[in-house]
Every structure is written in structure tokens, then in C-alpha cells.
Structure 1
Amino acid sequence: MDVVMLVGAAGASVVVALIVLLVVAVQRSMRAERARKTQLWEWSRAHGWSYTERARAEWTSRLPGRNPRGLGVVMTGHLGGRWVTVADYKHETSSSDGSSTTHHYIVIVVRLAQPHLPVSVLSRGSLSQLGRSLFGDKPTATGNPTFDYRYRVVAPDPHYARRLIGPQLITAHLYNAVPHWSLAGQDLLTYHKGQLRHPKAIPALAAPLLHVAELLPP
């Protein structure tokens, strides 16, 4: 009986220790998140940018998961002669065993002077490349075989897309100087996995998309 009690007490001690470790980990995570947001807010204030949290934006429909409530920190200011927004975004996916995974992204949006019809340039995966080899190019193809092999253009108006994606922009993509992007209205957008942690990285994060904006026709 004493042995059973000792084993039970040991098990209870392990459970208590795990709970304490979990609480400590959660508290550290919360402190780190507060510090991150404070740093971003202070940078925004020092540079004349706006800072909001949990905003809403139409362009979330162009992000993975299309989560309208997925925005966290949203910062907007003037950079490279244009209005730029840098934001946290997340969405969740569920697996067959009922567990969920949260995916974090950094989103960059450049506001253009004129509205445009929807156009996207996306990197091709292996399945997309296979489909192209089997069925040929779609009407949105640019005619540059290397570009059309590596990228696919999605647009309701192929002629408009080809007018936007000129030789200089194609070359920039082939040299990996610009990211994948989508454009609708005045909002030019890109995103990549991660979370915004160091505000000093904002100019470097925005620079490739600003380059896309410079290469688009007026």
C-alpha cells in the first residue's frame, strides 16, 4: 500500500512540475510578445507610421486561408515614395487527428497611384509544371519560355496581364530580384512565412515589392 501511495505521489509531483513549466513558458511567451509589440509601436511612432492591431482589410482574401480576422499588428507609412503596409497575419489548418496548426506570415502591401484589374504572378510547383508540360500554356503566358516554366500568371484579362508584365519585370523575376505578388485595385501585395520581429527590417522587407511597383507601367 505504501509503495502504491509513493508511486501516486511521484506521479502527482510530475504533473504539478509539468503544469508549472507550462505556466512559466506561457508567461515568457506573453512577455516576449508584449516586448515585440512595444518595439514595433515605438518604431512606428518614431518614423511617423500608424500602428493598429486586429484591423480588417479586403486584401486578406488574397492570403493563405483567406482569414478576415487573421491580421495582428498592422503598420502603415511612407517608404520609397509610396504608402506601404507591413502586417502580421495568421490562419489555422486542421489535420485528420483533430489537431490544428497556426501558420504565421508577414504581409507587405504597396499602395499604387492607379487602380488595376486583378493580376497575380505565382511560383510554379512541380504539379503546375507537369500540367503545363501536358496541356500547354494558358492565355496568360508571357511568351518567355523560362518565365512561363517557373511562374504562372493568374488574371481574368490575359491581354491586361501581358501589358503589366513587361520585359523588365520578367527579367527581375528570372533573377529572383522580386517576389511573387498579386494586384487588385490599388493594392500590390506579397507575403512570406514568419512573424515581424525587428522593425529595422521593414525597409528591406518592402524593397522587393517596391521594385515590382517601379517596374509596372503607369
Structure 2
Amino acid sequence: MDKFAKRLIKRENGIRDWLTKNNLDFVLNKADQILDNLPRETIKASFKSEIERALQHCIENNKIKALDFQWYYGGREIGGALAYGIDSCKTKGSLSKTDLGPEELPGIEINLKHGSLVDHSFAEIPVSIAINKMVKEIKPLLKESEEIGDLFKNTSYVITDYFQIWNYKIGHEVCDELRESDTEKALKNRSTFWVTMTRQERWSVPIMLID
């Protein structure tokens, strides 16, 4: 297990512990129920086909040195995460320490600076399926529950991340399955080629490094 996967699991477990500590098990249980009922393998198959399509596009365009899947979330239902091909990516992979929510939670966002956009919207991964379920079934629960009270803001942050982590883990699994493939080998000549997922206006979360 690489450090990217370990970070995702560590933050996921941290969120679970934080919700339990603050007597918000009912929120955690509802979130788990929703995620357990999603067609994960079907969603993963879609992630795989779109990530492979995006990487193939990058192979065919030598100007692309990094791949990022971006989506915008502002509290309402969203669309998928669109592929962006970028001409450079500067990072040492260190944590940015910018993650939303309680400070004690382990971070997953990294200190990364993307360069100029080369191309975009050449693939789309369905992060919307999980996020939109959260919007429909969890957000109303948070607003209606008096038990959350002053914890509302942090609870909203961590439960959003809980669903995003579900997506990040699928993205990472797909990329991990592409290790030693012809696709990965074709991108090894790009120096370090980062594949990331980014909620717009946030820092990126890495799901693959080809070096």
C-alpha cells in the first residue's frame, strides 16, 4: 500500500472517530448505509474506462505533463469530474495542511502547483453519484438535527470529505491496477507525471505518480 492510499484510510478513520466522539454515530451510520448501497463495481468500471481514456489522450499529446480530474461542489448536486491536461506540475508530494474540518484530522490534500492548461474535458469520472446521494440524503439530516448544533460546520466538512474519500479510493484503486501497463510505461518519459483529483477551489489529492 503506497502513502497515498494510507493517507486516505487514515483520514477516513479519523472522520469516523471524530463523528463517534461527538455522538454523531447516526450521521456516520446513514453515510455508510448510503455508500454500501451504491453500485461500487459499476462505478469503478466507469472510473477505469474514463481514466484510461484520459491517460491515452495524454500519451497522444506530449505537451501534457500532469492529469487532474476536477469538479465543483457548492452544497448542491454536481456533475462529473472533468479531465484537465496541464503542461507542468510542481510538488514534492508533501501535505498542504489545508484540509477543511477539525485540525486534528489527518490531511490528504497536497502542496501542488499546476502549470498552464493544455486541454480539458476529454474524459469524465462519475464522482457525482456519491456526492449527489450525500446532498439528497445527508445534507437535510444535518440541517434538521438539533443534536449537531454548533458542530454543524465541521460536521458538514467531514461528511463531505467522507464521500469524497470514497471517490478518491476508487480512483486510486483504478490507477494502482494500471501499474506496469503499457499506458503507464508510455508516460514514464514525462519526468514525473502526477494524476490528481481536485474539488475546485481546494488543493489536489493525488491518486497516482508515474516516475
Q: Same fold (TM over 0.5)?
A: no
Structure of greater Rg: 1
Range class of TM-score, shorter chain: under 0.3
TM-score w.r.t. length of structure 1? 0.21
The structure with more strand, counted as a fraction of residues: 1
Bigger RCO of structures 1 and 2 (CA < 8 A, at least 6 apart): 2
